[in-house]
Amino acid sequence: MSQPSPSPSSTPFKFPTYHASYPPFFTLQPNTSTLTAQYRKWSRLIQRYCRHHRLYKLSLTSTIDSPLFKNTELKKRLSLQDARSVLEWMSRDEGGRRIEWVDQKGRVVDGRPREDTHDTCWVFWKRPEEWGDVIAAWVEETGQKGVVLTFYELVNGEGTRGEEFHGMDQELFRRALSTLVKRGKAQVFGGEGAEGTKFF
C-alpha cells in the first residue's frame, strides 16, 4: 500500500538552493547548454511546487508574483515572458510534455498558444497515464478488480484517504481513467455526476 501523502498545508515548501540564493537563476541565459540546464531546473521546481500544493493547473498571470517565480529576499523574479518560455519548453518532447496549455474554456490548445488569450496550463507532475498506473495499483492492492466504484468514492471517499489521487482534479481523474480504458484495464459508465467505473 502506498504511503499517505502529506497535506499540502502540513509542511512549508522547501525551495532549492538555486532558487533561494542564486540570482542568475531568475534570468534565462543565452548559452544553449546553460539554458537547457536552467529549463530542466525550472521544470523540476514547478512540478515539485505544484505537487506540494496539490496544484493541477497553473495560471501565469495569477502566479507570476507568487513565491514560485519571485524571491523577495533576492529582489528577483522570473519575467512573464521567461516564465512562458519555461512552460513552452515543458510542453515539448524535450521537456517531457509536463504541461499542456488550455484555452479560456479549459480546452487543450494544440500548438503554441497566443499570449493574449492563453495563460493557463495543466501541470503534469504526473501525466494522465502515470495517474492511471497509480489508480490501477491501488485497485490491485485493495482487491477492487471487478467492483463497481463511483468517481466520487474514488476521488473523495474515505477508502482512498491518504492516497496520492485522493482529492485530485475531476477532469484530470477522468483523463487518467481514459488511459486505463484505452488499455483495456477499466470501463467507465454513467452520466456526469453519477459516473462509475469497473477495473479489470
Average pLDDT of every residue of the chain: 88
Q: Which CATH class is domain 17-123?
A: mainly alpha
State if pTM tops 0.75.
yes
Selected from 1.10.3720.10, 1.20.210.10, 1.10.10.10, 3.30.9.10, the CATH number assigned to the domain covering 128-199 reads 1.10.10.10
Band (pLDDT 50/70/90 cuts) for residue 59 is very high
Contact between 165 and 155 under an 8 Å Cβ cutoff? The reply is yes
Half-sphere exposure of 49 (CA within 13 A, CB side): 17
Band (pLDDT 50/70/90 cuts) for residue 107 is confident
Q: Please give the backbone phi and psi of residue 157, each rounded to the nearest 5 degrees, phi first.
A: -75, 160
What burial letters (b/e) apply to 71-105, b meaning 16+ CB within 10 Å? beeeebbbeeebbbbbbbbbbeeebeebbbbbeee
What pLDDT is recorded for position 4?
38
Q: CA nearest 57: which of 121, 130, 125? A: 121
pLDDT for 153 beyond 60:
yes
What pLDDT is recorded for position 7?
46
| CA gap 145, 94 in Å, rounded | 36
Average pLDDT over residues 115-132: 86
Average pLDDT over residues 169-175: 92
| CA gap 56, 181 in Å, rounded | 22
* Domain 17-123 matches domain 128-199 at the CATH topology level: yes
Domain layout of the chain by residue ranges = 17-123, 128-199
Sign of CA dihedral 23, 25, 29, 33: positive
High-pLDDT (> 70) share of the chain, %? 89
Contact between 57 and 120 under an 8 Å Cβ cutoff? The reply is yes
Average pLDDT over residues 148-175: 91
Neighbours of 151 (CB within 10 A): 20
State which H helix or E strand residue 101 sits in: strand 99-102
What cell numbers appear for 109 in the block?
Answer: 490548445
